[in-house]
Amino acid sequence: MQTQSFKLLLWTFLTFASLHQGRGAKCSADGPTVNQTQVGFGNPPKFMVEVHNNCAMCPVIDVHIKCGNFSQALVSPRLFKVLGHNDCVLNAGLPLPPLQKFSFNYSHQKYPMSPSIWYFQCE
Q: 73: which DSSP letter? A: G
Query: What gap in Å lies between CA 41 and CA 22, rounded to an integer?
Result: 34
The residue length of the chain stands at 123
Closest CA to 88 of 106, 68, 112, 110: 68
For residue range 39-85, what is the model confidence (pLDDT) as tens digits? 999 999 999 999 999 999 999 999 999 999 999 999 999 999 999 99
Average pLDDT of the chain, as a whole number: 86
Does the structure show a pLDDT above 80 at 3? Answer: no
Does the structure show a pLDDT above 70 at 18? Answer: no
pTM, full prediction: 0.77
More confident residue, 6 or 37: 37
CA distances from 114 to 48, 64, 99, 120 (A): 14, 9, 18, 17
Given this model, what pLDDT does residue 29 score? 75
* Segments making up each domain of the chain, as ranges: 2-120
